[in-house]
Structures are given as structure tokens and as C-alpha cells.
Chain A
Amino acid sequence: MTHRFFIVFFFFIISSLLLDAQTSPAVGLRDNTPAVHALANGRIVVGPGNIIENGTVVIRDGVIEAVGSNLSPPTDARVWDMSGRTLYAGFIDLYSDIGIPEPEADRERRSIDVLLRQVPAQFSSFLAAQIAAEETPEGALYWNPQVRSYIDGAMVFKPDARNASALRSQGFTNALVAPQDGIFRGRSAFVSLGEGDGNDLIIRDNVTQNISFDRSNRLGGRYPTSLMGSIALIRQTLSDADWYNNAHEAYMRNPSGKERPEMNVALAALTDVVRGRQPVILDTSDELAFLRASKIAGEYSLAMWVRGSGHEYKRIDAVKATGLPLILPVNFPSPPDVSTPENAREVSLEELRHWNDAPDNPARLAQSGVTFTFTSDQLDDKKKFLSQLRQAVDRGLSKDAALAALTTNPAQLLGMHNKLGTIERGKIANIVVADGDIFSSNTKVVDVWIDGSRFEVEAVPDVDVRGTWSVSAVDRDIEGTMEIKGELARLSGTLTIAEKDIELKPVNYDLQRLSVGFPGDSINVDGRIIMSATVSPEEMFGSGVLPGGRSFEWRAMRQEHFTPEQRERPDRKFEKVDLPVVYPAMEYGIPQKPEQPEHVLVQNATIWTQGPDGIWENADMLIRRGKIAQVGYNLNPPRNAVVIDAGGKHVTPGLIDAHIHTSIAGGVNEVGNAITAEVSIRDVLDSNNIWIYRLLAGGLTSANSLHGSANPIGGQNAIIKMRWGALPDEMLIDDAPKGIKFALGENVTRNQRRYPNTRMGVEQIIRDEFQAALEYEVAWKRWEQNRSGIPPRRDHRLETVLEILKGERHIHSHCYRQDEIIALIRVAEDFGVTIRSFQHTVEGFKVAEVLQEHGAGAAVWSDWWAFKVEAYDATTYNARLLHDQGVLTVIHSDNTQLATRMNWEAAKVVQTGVYEEDALSMITINAAKMLGIDHRVGSLEAGKDADFVIWKQHPLATDTRAEQTWVDGRKYFDIEDDVRMREEVREQRAQLIQSALAALDAGEQPRRGRRGGISPFEEDYSCMEDHYEIH
């Protein structure tokens, strides 16, 4: 053991002698091997679109000295014959973790976590102390362990020979490596993929700050637990970094008499980021995440590069409009597993389409003029990079664009285009040598040169033993020919003696020594004969042993050299299916935004205006440019108007749901804190969601998308229209008032690991937060008077709460019991605030007069009850009693499926004695008033948005259905189009499944997912089932 250690150690010293940094003192003798090379007679791809068909590159001391076609190598150069070779500038990977060690798992933190799960709830105060200790970081760091902006790639980097060699085999000579954990992950370092120590390999430190939406669980920390929480944390941290800078500057200018601002190395590390001087890289999981990233870049004027997802082609215009450069992985998906009818049924068109279209992504981005680079990131096997990349070239990415994405684009982004990216005089000698066109399927990277040093990708032996030899062993009857063939790593051979072929086994060849064996019966002896030889190009000689134990000598002369067989790699045996581009890129997607006719006239319908004009029988409604112009009798159609005969049908305003949780990416609840006013559903809207279409099919046109009910003060809401095919931000009702979710009762008190545990505590924590927001405002006002001293810190949470107190943000509060309803009203009244609405309000009927007097609306279910204790004292007469007492009453769903049939929810209320028209108001105009969007939607009145539904018959009947659903005077749903689209979806799936079967048949490995299950409520979060755990 020790012996081996010393050998390793010895070699380590030897090699480090050769590779020592320039500042290290010499140990032993100096190495002065000449470093002048001429790579002659190669095809030199100087850069994209610039080729020297037969040229020479001269390298001196790691730098390209000359490039040209008629160049005679300098006399001191070692000449390398590059005939048949193609030379490219070294490839650059901007998103790598090579050489970055994983952070040590925080054992202490984990043990506390385990403890917390086991300790009985009675010890909650002890727990609170433990948690506080857990959350206190060591050193002058940020309070949140997910913020590790100070981790420096150049400090933690450890050369990683194995992975570097894998990347080199794909032509990479350089990589930008970055720490991989946390939301703020730290600073990247630009390294070369050669060999040596950090001083040699790291070219530049502190290149970018890498950020992620994904928290790292091994770092611990209770916040954030959701995507919207991550986004909020990124914002707050950036604001804090800005403040930190300003605060320290102010203090440095004149420290006397000022409170010393805190020391924080995590914030200090972000100075260049918030000043726009240092690029950030943010990694994304789909095209919507890309847009989220770009929004943050815009808000904080960040110089951002985005590590893409491969989904960008789905929203190419929006991606282009951001102007942000992309770092693209090439992990095109494997075919979905469609090998059984069960599996095939569970594969969505969305997944099939992406498999089909994903390799187009780079070509489409290039055509649109988006700047991008390629990365090997996201590939499990880095050695598949080139073959994946070639798929993109097969799909129309030009070779020049591909090469630029590998070389000049990344060099440009790094600001190192004067040193890297092309094979030009004066640049660093990073060169890829391939045995052909790198983008052709059979081409291999032979060598790469990094800083003028050659790295073999596949070691080629000095002498190739393969070929035909004439063998003779003096006096031993072994006279004949020997053929050695096969791949270098797996040779085979035959010996032919007297026209008899004998298989050689084994055939080994290493370090110019061949050893073989064969059965002796071929020369009439019993047993096996073994032989070995030392090999030179034209001759070999050695000795052998006969079965009897006697040795003999033998030799062989070369007859023929080895010529490899021409291997053609089979092409993919399936064709790409050409599908129309639709938005979103999934089932029922549409080719473009539905047109908005100048005029639409709906004739002869029963029109439920839900406004002061009531119900009109056999009437007409005129729409002009997306707005309702008039409801009346016998209206004349304007010229070129779209006329819809709705005889016998009913028309109502588009239905509105005051409480849904659909179309939210990355978690509905931020459970990392009891107060999370800073998080916002608007940041995480997900427009790629089949439920939007299904909601339209049920006549729903607007909704209030809310944070979950885990927190007394939850996140900000998003009031959206079901504009199917639009981007998340385009779904927002632009002038809808801001809102926020509050929650009371069991859901917020259930968690024994945090405050509050009782309704008493809920009242107090809300009051505390309101008070703090007021005092926050005072601090700012005081500072703004003379703007001297240390500026206050911008607190996104308190600023949101302050908006509430100023009446600029509506409270929509989840509640069940009457006591908590009154308690929140009294807190609000103490701060001069009106609660806009109570949600669920299961016991609202008990305190209708309190709600009415306060001016709060009540959104209720038609008939949900008894799923928990606070929902037990419930009645289906809730809406009726509230409505009778003059409370603005709304029927809500809190459940996406329920939201597709709100008309029936309203119908059930009629049973309790509510007039039909009033019941319909509870899902239209009342909801609009509750959300503050009644100037736009909720009733069919002149000047309002043309959001309406044409029903087959009476809207509350069970055999009715939405035949057309219009939003903004655009028809988003038509029951006849739906039939056609179902057929298209069926055909497209069938085509793609055939294509996937062909791919599987051709030997591609299927992508396995969760298959075979029916999960009707996948999207179906509901406050009713708001059970959460903090991990």
C-alpha cells in the first residue's frame, strides 16, 4: 500500500515539475523542451466561413504564430502531418461544472431536520429556538443559505482529468465552470481543459455570477419552497446588494455619527452584478422560464446570459425580443415509450411534439438571429455531444452557425475574441484536429491542442500491428501467413498454415508487443501454442512455447498494411413529422391569436346582460373592435360584420371565477414563511396548460389565480383572461387592481414548526406585519426629507403590505369560521383598510351583517362541506343568506375542474331560493366587482370588453353547453372547431406515435415516464386539500 502510494506520489512530483505555475520556485531541473509545432497540410477552418483548404498552423509557446497556405514551417518546429485532417478553433462550453466539487452536505443541519420531525409538538418553543439557530449562518453571509454569491469557482476548482478528457473528445478546449448549488451559486471561472494545476488551467476568475430558480436542498433553509419564492428571493437579494453598496458608500463618505451598515460578503460579491458590470447566467427549464429570467434581467438591468432548455423554438419571437444570448444544451429528448397501447395512451401530444421538434431548436434560433452558444450541460454522457449536435445540423442549422456557436460566439460573450474563437495569428493555440468535417456523422476528433500542447483523444499506437504478415519459426513447422484485424481495442487474427485457417486466441497488442495463442493440432502437437513478438513497422520477432514446454524463436515480415472497412452509420430510420406551429405547442394549440373582427352581430338570442337592463328576449348584441357597442332589438349589421344567428340560444357574459389555482408553475404555496407578501403568482403563470382551453369550453373567460392558503399573508394574485395561446403576461388583465391572498384558520395554524399555531396568533402576526409596514414607511419618509445618512433598505415584503394599507392592493382572504372573519375585519378596521373579499367564507352566513357593514364581499362554494372541522357547520344556503343581507356574493370554485362548469354551480344555488339572474350574477358581474374588473367585464353593457358565451340553451340547465366563448371580441372556443381539433389531435398523435415506434425499432432507448395512470386531477390544487409539509 505505502509502496504504491510512493510511486503515485513520485509521478505526481515529476509531472508537477513539468506543469508548475510560473510563480512557483523551480524544484530540481528546469524543463525547456521546445514548444514549436507546425501543423502542416491540413484543411484549416480559420473561423466560420473562412477556410484554408491546405494550410499550415505554426504554434510557438502556446500561441499561434502563423497561419497560411503557403507557409514553410520554421526550422525549429516539430512538423505534424495533417493531411486528411480538418482543424477548427477549440470549442468553448459556457455552462459546466467540471472540477467543481459538491458542497459538503451539512450534516448538522440535516440532523436538526430529523430531530424536528420526531420531537412531539409540545416542545414547539424549543423547536423555534433550534430553528432560529439553524437559520443563523456562519460568518458574515446572507441570512438565506441559498445565497452563495461569494463562492468563487477559481478557489474551489480542482482539475478533473477524466471529465476534461471526455469534453476534449468532443472538441472542447475551454469551459466556464461554476458552483452548482443554491439560488445564487457563485462566481464562475474560465478554464482550459488541458492538464496542470489551477494556476495553469484557470484563465480568468470571477467571470459570471450564476443564478438558478432551483433551490438546493442540501444547503437547507426553509425559504423558498416554490418557484415564485425563488424569484422573490432573487429580487430581494439583488435589491439588498444595491442597498449594501449604497449604504457602505454613504458610510465611507462620512462615517461620523452614523450607524454602521452590516458586513455581508454575499452582498458585496454582487456589487458588479447589480451595477451591470458582471454578467449573470441563469438556467431555465422551459421557454416560459426563459421569459421569467428575462423579466428579472430587465428589472435590475442585469447583463444576463440564459442557459436554455431546448424549448425556445416554441416561443421564438418572444425569446428573440429579449435580446438575451442563450447557452443551449443539446439534450434532445429520446422518443417517448409508446411500445404498448397503455403507454401510448398516456403520452401527450405535447411530449410527442417536443420529441419530434426539439432538434430544430438551434436552427430556428439561428434563423431568427438569436445569439447562442452550445453547452454539453444536461447530457448524461458528454461523449454524445457531437452526435447530438449533428442532429441539429441535419435539421438545418448551418455549419457556420454551429461553428460560431461553439467558438466565436462564446469568445465574444466572454470578451476574449482577441484570444480565442478562431485559428488566427496571435491567439491562444487551442485547436481541434478532426479526421473530416466535424459535423459529419463519421468524423472523429483525433487530437486537441490546448495552449500549444497536444492531447490525444484516442491513443494511436506508434506501430499499427494490423495487416498481413508472413510468419516463420525455424524448425518448428510454423510457416504461413498471419492476419491481424479489427478495432485497436479488440483485435482478432488468423494464422494460415498449409492453407488451413487457425483462429488466434487471444490476440493482445500493447506497447508494440503482440501476443497470440492457437491450438497445436494444426501442426500435429497436442495442446496449445503461445507466442509473442516485438513489433516494428515491417517486421516482428519473438519467442513461443510449445505444449511440451520447449521454447522456440519466430519472426514475421509485413506483407500488407491494414485498410479499415468503410463503415456507414445508418441514418435515423424515421422521418421528422411536419406539424403546423401552434400556441401553446400542445393539444388544442392554435396557429395564431383568433382574429378580432371589426364588427360582430349576435342575433335573435336571449341575452342575459347581468347589468341594469336585465334579460332581453330575442335580441341582438353588436360588438365593435372587441368592445360591446350595443344590446338591442333588430340591430342592423354594419358592412362586413360577422353575423351570428343565435336564435333559440342564450348569451351571457363570460363567466368569472374569483378563486382558482390553475396555470401556476413551480408550486402554489410558498410555505417557507408565514408571511410571503413578496411572492407573486404573476411571476409564475403557466400558459402551457390544457385547462385554459377546458375552462373556455366551459364558458369561463376570467379568473383570479391565487396563492395557496398556507400563510396568514400569502402571495400576490394574478387576474387573468383565458387567452389561450397567449404568453403568461398577455393573459393578465392589464388594469386589474392588485390583490393578495390572506388565509386564516386550520391551514395556517396546522404547522407545528412555525408561528402561528392558533387563531389568536394569526390575528397577532397580521397586526404585527401591518404595524411594521407603517413603520417602514416612516423610516423612508424620514430619509427622503434630506436624503442624508444611511439609506433604508428596500423590503419587498413590507412594501407589498404597505400597498395594502394604502388601499392599493386588495385582500382576498381564505376563511371558514365566523370568529376569524370578524377578527380580521377588526384588524383591518384598526388600520383603515377594507377587506375586499373573503374566500370560501363557509360560516359567512352567520355574520352577513358584519361583512355587509364592513363592505367585504364573500366568495363561497355552492355545496362543499365537512372535509374538515372548520367546514362542518356549513350550509348550501350560505350564498342565499349572504345575498339576502346585501353582501356582494360570489360562487367560486377553488378547483380547476369545478371552474369548467360554474354555470351548474350557480344553478345549484337557485335551489335554495335565489333568483336565476342573481345566481348568474354570482359567477359574472359580482365576481367582476369583487376583483375590481367590472369596468371591463362581468356584464354585457356598451363599452365593456366583448367577453361572452353563446349557450346552446338556458345557461343554468344541465343539458346546456357553451357553443362559443369569446374574449376581447375574439372567438377562442367554438364547439364545432373543437370537434375538428379533436380529430387533428388524434391524427397528429397517431402519426407521431408511428414515428416514435420506428425510432424505438431502430434501437433508440425510450424515455421512461410515469405511465399507465389516469390522473384526472393532476392540475387540481385546492385550498380544500391544502396539506403541506416543510422539507
Chain B
Amino acid sequence: MKFIKRSLTVFSIVIILCLSLQAQIPASPQQQPVAITGATIYTVSGGVIQDGTIIFEDGKITAIGAGLEIPEAAERYDASGKYVYPGLIHAYTNMGLTEIGAVDVTSDINEFGQINPNVRAEKAFHPESRHIPVARSHGIAVSLSSPSGSTISGFSAAMLMDGWTWEGMTLRAPIGLMINWPMITDNDNNNARNQLKEIKQAFSNARSYKKARSVSENHRTDMKWEAMIPVLQREIPVVVQANNARQIQDAITWAESENVRLVILGGRDALYAVDQLIAKDVPVIITPVLTSPGRPWQGYDEVYSNAAELHEAGIRFAISGEYGSANAMRLRHHAATAAGFGLPADEAMKAITLYPAEIFGLSDRIGSLEVGKDATMIVTDGELLDLRTSVEQMFIRGRKIDMADQQKNLFKRYREKYRQLSEE
């Protein structure tokens, strides 16, 4: 098996080198003011502006409204008949951490061992991943790239979807400490029990480490427990993957006893814990929407309508798509399905823009179109929640993004092939 692995590695490296030659060129910083005019603007936080204008300078939104005066120096972007939305935020993805699912060595998702609070996603973020331009073409401007797999998987990072290096692309990091809540069942399984013990042990260790360090600076460094201090100080939340009712309930109790900020990821059974989620103000990242219930007795559309139910119950939530970066492009399809099954459309838009920004403390920069926020937005040729709509242009911090991606390039390349054939 090693032999195959190695040969696949070499093969994929060759491929990845080849692709970097045709990768898109990151945009330069915004040089002059830009005014997008004539658009239907979904500010998300402040309603919809018909025939509106949005002006931004030095990467920040400076004005937004209808019938605005446009500065002389501004570059005009005529968006008549088009729509402007904030850039989408993918709240849970392995974007930049993996390239080809079946080839292990292209994957930097899952660190060795079960307790890895010290690893950080941004540091392994691959700026040349072919998945990034494809995701951009579907409106995603920021991805919360997250490690996964082990019990405590490490910290996620908010990554901008354009730039030369991971440092240049990091919007903010760390964002959340990713934890997989074990599934305890009757008839097993020491494995899950041990995982639970390990989580509790890790937090207890980190707490005593923090105390030891506060008493003596000479206490030797422990990479793992050191990394957890901001979590213990409630500066950064834990993001606990929990779908089953028991997992969700137990995670809430645990977070309360550890006095840490909790975000539930998954939340398939969140309706079994409504009171506690509201009482403890625990938000839920619903992921994914586009699937069917695991229990045959459930209604066929119960996962589709989960977001609407959580909204009605008054639970704070956001929608993420699938974890795999190749499928990040489907983010708006997930939101659109939630909207199709009872979630008000403006809530569905917020669920992939403003809500994840608020949940992860990024709403000072992104998530809605407001004066003073980053000029991170998209221009589309139709309603974003309609699958037939295409994203025409993206701006990240005012930078006009090259919208080419490998999928469009292949289209162009082979359209040319058939043009040549038709001439023969």
C-alpha cells in the first residue's frame, strides 16, 4: 500500500504544480474608490435597496443607498438589473486544507492523536488550492477553515478567498476550537466513553496549567494547554460537533460546567434542546441542510425544514454547507433549500452571511453591507437563492477579484476545441 500511496503522492504533486501555472492571479489592493450602481442591494442588515449604489474606498464601504453622489475619482461598475450581496461565509469547511479526498497526503485535516488543541488551520492553508477560485465563483468570500477528525481537532481560521500567502489571506484566527462530541450508546463502547474522559481531562489539565503559569512564569510550556487559555478565558468559543439529542444536551451541560462559550455544529436534533439552547444562548451551525433524516419514521423533509423550525423556536443559528471544500460551492443551495422549506428568505441570506459573522465575532468586518465594514461583496445576475443564478463579480476588501477558475477555464479550453473542430 505504501508504494501506491507514494506513487499517488508524486502524481498529485505533479498535478498540483501544473495547476499552479494556470491559477488565478490574486488582486492588488484597492487603488481608487469604486461605485457599483443601479443594483438591487441586499444589505442583509438594513433591508433591500432598489436601484442602489454602493461606494467603497481603501477596502471599506463608505456609502450605501439610492441616488448617491458618486465621487469623481471613482471607478464605476454598472450593475443595472443585477444584485449585490455581502460575500458569503462558509462556516465549516476544510477549504485550503485538502485537495483530493482519496489521496491522503493531500489532506491536512486530521492531526495525529486525539487531543490537538494546539494546531491551527491557517498555518496549513494552501493558497493555491484549486477549490478556492471555484468556491469564489459561487459567492464564497470567507471560509472558516476547520480541522476535524480527532476528538479535539484544533482551531479554525477565517480565511479570505484571495491572496498570495496564508498570512495575507487570514482575516482572523483563531476562530473556534473544534471538538467532536463522542456518541455514547448503550451497547458499546469504551471508545466513546474514553473520548469523553479525554475531553474533560484536557480541560482540567489546561485549567491547572493556566493556574501554574499564573503562579510561576518558569513553569515549562505545554503546547496543548497553552493553546487552550483563550478558550478558558471565553475569548474564543468551542465549536462542538453534535447532531444527536443526547450529544447536544450533554455538550450544553459540559460547556456550562467548564464555563466556556459554546457553538453547536450539526444540530440535527437541536429541537430536542430548545429551552436550553435559548437559555444558555448557544448558537447552532446547521450542517448540512441538503440531506435526509437518519430515522425512517421521520418526514422526508425534516432536515430541510430544520432551520425554519430553529428560527421559529428562537434559536440563534447559521447555515453551513458540506465540509468538503470541493462542495463548498453548494453553500447557497443549502440556504435556498432552508428557504424553500419554511425559513423566510431574508433569514436564509443572513444564515450564510451575517449570522456566522456574528456567531464568530467577525461582524465588525464582514457579514453585511454597512458603511465602515469591509467591501467584501458579490454581484450576481439574479436572486442568489435561485440555483440558476450566476455570480458575476466578487470584491474582497475592495479588491476586484479575478473570477476565472479551473472549471471555467476547462469550459473555455474545450469550447475552443469544438470551435476548431467545427472549422475543419
Which A residues contact B (CB, under 8 angstroms)?
A: 120-122, 337, 340-343, 345-346, 348-350, 586-587, 690, 693-694, 697-698, 746, 752, 845-846, 848-849, 863-869, 872-877, 880-881, 884-885, 897, 900-901, 904, 907-908, 910-912, 916, 956-961, 978, 982, 985-986, 989, 1008-1018
Contact = CB atoms under 8 A, between A and B. Distances in A.
Given A849-B421, A875-B406, A985 B3 contact: no
10 contacts: A697-B300, A698-B300, A746-B102, A866-B101, A872-B100, A884-B418, A911-B389, A911-B390, A956-B388, A1013-B183
A874 B184 contact: no
Contacts of B390: 911
A986 B421 CA distance: 61
Interface string B383-420: 00111111000000000000000111011001101100
B1 A121 contact: yes
Interface string B276-312: 0000000000000011111111011101000000000
A869 B386 contact: no
A694 B301 CA distance: 9
Given A693-B300, A872-B100, A876-B407, A911 B387 contact: yes
B187 A877 contact: no
Given A121-B3, A957-B386, A1013-B183, 9 more contacts: A342-B245, A342-B246, A346-B295, A849-B418, A869-B103, A876-B407, A908-B387, A959-B340, A989-B297
Nearest to A905: B387
Given A958-B337, A1011-B187, A881 B418 contact: yes
B73 interface: no
A587 B187 CA distance: 25
Interface string B128-144: 00110000000000000
Tell which of B3, B386, B421 has the most Cβ of chain A within 10 Å: B386
A342 B269 CA distance: 11
B55 to A, nearest CB: 29
Contacts of B389: 911
Contacts of A1012: 183-186, 244, 246
Interface stretch (B24-32, B325-333, B358-366): B325-333
A710 B369 CA distance: 50
B94 to A, nearest CB: 11
A697 B411 contact: no
Tell which of B3, B295, B329 has the most Cβ of chain A within 10 Å: B295
Contacts of A341: 245
Contacts of B17: none
A697 B303 CA distance: 14
Contacts of B414: 845-846, 848, 881
B406 A120 contact: no
B57 interface: no
A908 B186 contact: no
B326 A865 contact: yes
Nearest to B391: A911
> Closest 4 CB pairs between A and B?
A959-B340, A868-B102, A877-B411, A866-B326
Interface string B1-24: 111100010011001000000000
Nearest to B418: A885
Contacts of A989: 297
A690 B300 CA distance: 9
B333 to A, nearest CB: 7
B347 interface: no
Nearest to B288: A1016
Contacts of A885: 418
Interface of B: 1-4, 8, 11-12, 15, 99-103, 130-131, 183-187, 243-246, 268-269, 290-297, 299-301, 303, 324-327, 329-330, 333, 336-337, 339-341, 385-390, 406-408, 410-411, 414-415, 417-418, 421
B187 A586 contact: no
A1016 B293 contact: yes
B307 to A, nearest CB: 13
A363 B417 CA distance: 71
Given A122-B3, A342-B244, A959 B339 contact: yes
A746 to B, nearest CB: 8
Nearest to A1012: B185
Nearest to B131: A866
A36 to B, nearest CB: 57
Given A752-B4, A904-B333, A911 B291 contact: no
B297 A587 contact: yes
A724 to B, nearest CB: 12
Contacts of B102: 746, 867-869
A217 to B, nearest CB: 23
Contacts of B269: 1014
A985 B295 CA distance: 12
A909 B378 CA distance: 21
Contact of B295 (A345, A845, A1009): A345
Contacts of B1: 121
A121 B1 CA distance: 7
A863 B186 contact: no
A694 B101 CA distance: 29
Given A121-B4, A587-B296, A869-B15, A1011 B408 contact: no
Contact of A897 (B186, B292, B296, B337): B292
Contacts of A957: 340, 386
Nearest to A957: B386
Nearest to B246: A342
A869 B11 CA distance: 9
B386 A867 contact: no
Contact of A911 (B100, B185, B327, B388): B388
A317 to B, nearest CB: 24
Contact of B245 (A345, A877, A880): A345
Contacts of B341: 959, 961
B340 A907 contact: no
A904 B385 CA distance: 12
B152 to A, nearest CB: 21
A900 B101 contact: no
Contacts of A904: 333, 337, 387
B410 A845 contact: yes
Contact of A867 (B326, B339, B406): B326
Contact of B294 (A340, A697, A959, A1018): A1018
Given A122-B3, A907-B387, A1011 B186 contact: yes
A436 to B, nearest CB: 40
A866 B407 contact: no
B185 A1010 contact: yes
Contacts of B292: 694, 897, 900, 1016
Contacts of B290: 897, 901
A848 B418 contact: yes
Given A120-B3, A121-B1, A873 B410 contact: yes
B344 to A, nearest CB: 11
A1011 B183 CA distance: 10
B294 A1016 contact: yes
Contacts of B187: 1008-1011
A877 B408 contact: yes
Contacts of B406: 875
Contacts of B183: 1012-1013
